[in-house]
Every structure is written in structure tokens, then in C-alpha cells.
Amino acid sequence: MRTIAVLTSGGDSPGMNAAIRAVVRAADAHGIRTMRVASGFAGLVDGDVEPITSREVSGILHLGGTFLGTARSSRFRTTEGRREAQKHLDLAEVDGLVVIGGDGSFRGADALSREGPIRVVGVPGTIDNDLAGTDWTLGFDTAVNTALESIDRIRDTAASHGRLFFIEVMGRHSGWISLYCGLAGGATHVLLPETPTDVRRVREDVQRAFDLGKQFCLVVVAEGDQAGGAFSLADRVVEGLRDVDHRVTALGHIQRGGSPTMRDRVLGSLLGDAAVEALLDGDDRVMVGERKGRLERTPLSRSWTDHEEIPEPLISLMDRLAR
């Protein structure tokens, strides 16, 4: 292993820069040259591959987003596009590629490795926390804490006015952000893409909370919930409520940005270093992750095929505490 390349792909997530920094410096510690690929797979197809040194990743640990940039690439989804990408890797004499991203990025990396000589290792970078083989993905902790800060602020105005607030958080196919925000934010109800939406139950829970003397109610909704999001759900829930003023807030992309938490900085550092070690060990098409405090390697394809269910005890806990 003489040269390693690193790229970030898909949606940005806090902690990606920590992982980039770790890849570059871990490779340097082993006497391996590192190449940076700008703008994800799009940059790889275009040949935007340049050397990067340990000094160039100084001062990025605390930054949100991705220092390398990220972009979608329709060309990379074709066999011809991946051949072009492989050509640029060959020209740069790259032996191994570290891909930091989510399931779509890993599918692309897996295809690239199967069709060419390049070995790839994935680092799970997505705020959705929806990849098998790791307890936590890069950016999840920061995204939840960012959303929670907004929820705490909304609670203040909800309590002042005696209102019901519907708060939409990210999670098109995954309810991890919604559930953790609901648990930590004291929500009356949480709606997840993984569970059926019972509008009548939401209405009854909210009405019961106000009847029991609660001054305000928060309902946290994942954007991919079966009701169609917070605005659609609110319209249906408030139809049968008595004398309840309500508002809807969609937090949107503020959840993606901002300085990563300590947890995401450390996780990015651990996983970036582990990715280099995996390549040095001769591994290919694996994802590095953290399970129960231990670093593990999972076949890349399992990261998106082995769906990680949200633990039922967490959902039950939410139901018991939402009184």
C-alpha cells in the first residue's frame, strides 16, 4: 500500500472533517501518500485528484460540513463513468480508497471495487444513523443536539402561549433523530417512518395531556413519517381538538451544519484511523464502525442490506414517559 485516496460523498455530516484528518495523518504515520478527491464521485470522474499533506488538514477538526466538498454524480452511476474514475485513480497510482458517506456512497464504492483493481473501505458518515455494522454514524450526535437546542427554544414559547407545536426533523427513511429528540426533548408524541401512523392516537394523547393540565405539547415528526410530514399531520390532528392553538416548525438543514460534538469528533478520528488500518490489512469492500465500544469491520454490502431496527424498548420508553 503506497497511496490512499479519500473522498466524502452524499449528504454532508458533522464529523466528516475529523475523519478526513485522521485518514491523512494515519496514512502519513505509516509512510503512505494520501490523495484528496474533491466533490465526491463527481470529482473522481472529472479527475480532481491531488496530493494532500498532514499540514493541510490542520484546523479542520472542529468544522462542520466537509473540507473536500461533496456532489451527486449521474455519470458515476454508469459503467463508463466508473471506468473514467478508475482511470484517474490509476494515473495517481492509488492503491486504496476511503469513502466517507452513507448507503448510496457505499453502493458506488462497492461497484467501483468490483469492476476494477481498487480496494475500498467505507466510513459511515450520515446524520440518519441508518447503517448496519455500527451503533453510531458520523453526524448523528451533532444533528440530534442541534435539533434539540431548537426544540428547547420552541418549548419556551410553547409554554408561554399554551400551544401545541409540531416539529419536523430530518429522517426520510429513518426515525432515529425523531426518537432521540422526542426522548431528550420531552415530547408528547413521536412519529417515525418505521411505525404506522395513528392520527387518532396522536390527537387523543395531545387532548389528554391538555385535559390533565399540561401547559404545552410537543409532537416530533420525522420528515418521512407515513402521515406526510409535520404540516400534513398537524392539519389532520387539530381537526378534532378542543380550543388548542398550534404551530408547525420544520427544522430542515440546520440539523446538518454546525461544529461537530465531542462524540462526532472522536468517532471521526477513530473511524478514519481504522479505515487506514483496514486497507493496510488487505481488506476490501468493508465498512469500519463502532459496536459496543469496539471497532469492527462489516462487509460493505451488509451496511445497507442488513436493516437495523430501532429497538422496541426505546419506543416503549417514549410511550411510558410521554405523560
Binding site listing for ATP: 11, 72-73, 102-105
φ/ψ of residue 51, rounded to 5: -65, 150
Residue 196 class from Cβ within 10 Å (0-12 exposed, 13-18 middle, 19+ buried)? exposed
Q: Show the cell assigned to 227.
A: 402521515
Q: How many angstroms separate the CA atoms of 59 and 191, rounded?
A: 39
Residues with Cβ within 8 Å of residue 217, at least 6 apart in sequence: 158, 163, 164, 165, 188, 189, 206, 209, 210
User: Annotated binding site, which residues?
Assistant: 11, 21-25, 72-73, 102-105, 126-128, 155, 163, 170-172, 214-216, 223, 247, 253-256
128 tagged catalytic: yes
User: Annotated binding site for substrate, which residues?
Assistant: 126-128, 163, 170-172, 223, 247, 253-256
Residues with Cβ within 8 Å of residue 223, at least 6 apart in sequence: 168, 169, 170, 171, 172, 229, 230, 250
Q: How many angstroms separate the CA atoms of 242 and 211, rounded?
A: 10
3-class DSSP state of 238:
helix
Q: How many angstroms separate the CA atoms of 180 and 148, rounded?
A: 9
Choosing from 128, 130, 141, 283, the catalytic residue is: 128
Catalytic residues: 128
